[in-house]
Structure 1
């Protein structure tokens, strides 16, 4: 914290933590070189508190997504990005400091937000494409976001700040959130994940028959709340007319996203909700219609599917290489290609498909 500056925003965050933990002195981790001066860490600091309920854990809060000092942004309603992240991590009895990987993870989240401008809100989810603790033998490979139950939003002199808790989840839990709802899924497993405390050693809550049944009934009843899915391997090739006839158009997507799209076809389109697939330079909008057809505009494809075609496609679309021809189209191929999962250094660590 820079004592030469007004610390209005910083003080507002600390006041909320004092309300919870009284005089407990947190473990605080500051940043040596400010991000704006070329430092590697966007957050000015992180504080970790020892919490004992409902289970022993570290309660870590960030300082830096919001405006900690003087007001700089033009948005008077929100302070900076309008939130700070919290993370509740299971704590061993002998631990006196939180693990560094957890602090690095929060700084990585900050790099993503600062570089992209995308913010986290309650109900979001994020695939980490591998263990959230690099090199760990854990099934926790993704993150969900929900309002921290003990830290309601506060109005500071710099604007509103919400406290969004980051929750470690497994791959199948992530898929359930995509095909149903992040918040509904978290509510369904509240007993199995008290306080939404992240534990690297836990198994998927979907192994509990009661949770699995609740999720399946919820998907059937509500459909999916995921209307937008980023697909990094999304391509469209228009069919070319020639003397010998017209070649088929080709819609290509990666195997990693194919299974999610298959489920979302039922959870969105059959509930009369559209689904948007977005790639680097292409957007595909899928809609339920009376007749299966497609329309093409610049960098956009509108794919209208009738009920029978949705059912057919959802049954054959999966996480494996394939060329799919649908009964309703004689001029369209849906191609599924392998997805290479890479680590932070760009090395391929696994392949899907």
Structure 2
């Protein structure tokens, strides 16, 4: 006799979803070769349910971000990464199987998490740097994350598991989330996006009067919830490294793609007296409100103190154009906007900004 495999984590997810869909048998897409044995797909499987209300859609549920079998991590409170991902996508009449691109997208998000160790929480967002459905003309080029409206957190023998729903959004909607917050904007969308069902063919919701009012009120009352931004093209050169040159300022470099949104978020954060940290490879630059603009260095931790005039001047100059500039209200720093090259999965440049 052989001992039965422990599938308690998997079974707990099945039980939670079973309460929602009762006797419906899902379409399940498993992984042929396990990731730990060199397979390309990190998730063990994805189940997809056919849903008719409030609008016809597919409901995808992942298996693999949490611990599905034996407990392996030392974190007794959470199972694996502590969540499973869900995704709701509009379903056309007569569509009998879900589109494969959505399955691939979930596996790609899985690869990002497994490779980087960065865990998604409700309220997060991510720029996809292109259409979420490759090769389509959809306006949805980013992802946001919120609690699944039908699946609450569960307790399993391996720890708790939350169900985080992935929602497709446009580029301008991503920027609005960054200058306000994800929860607020999605709440303003829900009247037009029931249960946060992603529709590839939709236009931006930012032109709808009720959404415009919600955004303006939210930014004014709450400011931006974005306390930090991960910046790929972030660099800081200390003036001490140019000791042979006189009166040379420090240099702060950022990429053209993120230049403008940094200015917008900085203004929104400053209006509420909140700091903003830019996090790059080996450097962390934090902007804080103060009376006298200045900067200080502590290893790779850089603190830049700004006042209202400095924020206004900086935001006005942070544009997606390759350039260098200095501002009178924040002396001692040369700002460099570097050209950004966006590449596809094969490393080919598909867009240049700046």
Q: State TM-score, norm by structure 1.
A: 0.96
Q: Does 1:174 align with 2:174?
A: yes
Distance in 2 (alpha carbons) for counterparts of 1:133 and 1:179: 25
* Corresponding residue of 2:340: 339
Determine the C-alpha separation between the residues in 2 that align with 1:269 and 1:324. Answer: 21
Separation in structure 2 between the aligned mates of residue 280 and residue 188 of structure 1, nearest angstrom: 35
Q: How does 1:1-353 map to 2 (within 5 A)?
A: 4-239=4-239, 240-242=242-244, 245-353=246-354
Deviation string 1:299-335 (CA, Å, 9 cap, x unpaired) is 1211111111111111221222222211124432111
Q: Helix, strand or coil for the counterpart of 2:68?
A: coil
C-alpha contact 1:270 1:288 (8 A) present in aligned 2: no
Deviations 1:19-77 (A, max 9, x none): 11111111100111111111111111100000011110000000111111122222111
Q: What is the alpha-carbon root mean square deviation over aligned residues?
A: 1.3
Report how far residue 241 of structure 1 moved: 4.6
Q: Distance in 1 between matches of 2:110 and 2:59?
A: 18
Instruction: Check conservation: 2:155, 2:161, Cα contact below 8 A.
Output: yes
| Cα deviations by residue, 1:265-319 (Å, 9 ceiling, x for unpaired) | 1111231111000111211010011001111221121111111111111122122
Distance 1:41 1:237 in 2: 40
3-state SS of 2:131 partner:
coil
SS where residue 272 of structure 1 aligns?
Answer: coil
3-state SS of paired residue (2:271): helix
CA deviations 1:195-253 (Å, max 9, x no partner) are 1000110011102122122112211111000001011111112233557x311221110
Runs of 4+ in 1 over 4 A off after TM superposition: none
Would you say the 8 A contact 2:79–2:161 is kept in 1? Answer: yes
* CA positional deviation for 1:162: 0.4
Aligned partners of 1:246 and 1:312: how far apart in 2? 22
Partner SS for 1:296: strand
SS at match of 1:95: coil
Contact 2:294 2:331 in 1 (8 A): no
Structure 2 SS opposite 1:183: helix
Displacement of 1:189 after TM fit? 1.2
2:46–2:103 Cα contact (<8 Å) kept: yes
The gaps in structure 2 that reach 5 residues or longer are none
Tell me the distance in 1 between the aligned counterparts of 2:321 and 2:303: 24
- The CA distance in 1 between the partners of 2:282 and 2:157, in whole Å, is 40
Q: Which runs of 5+ in 1 are unaligned?
A: none
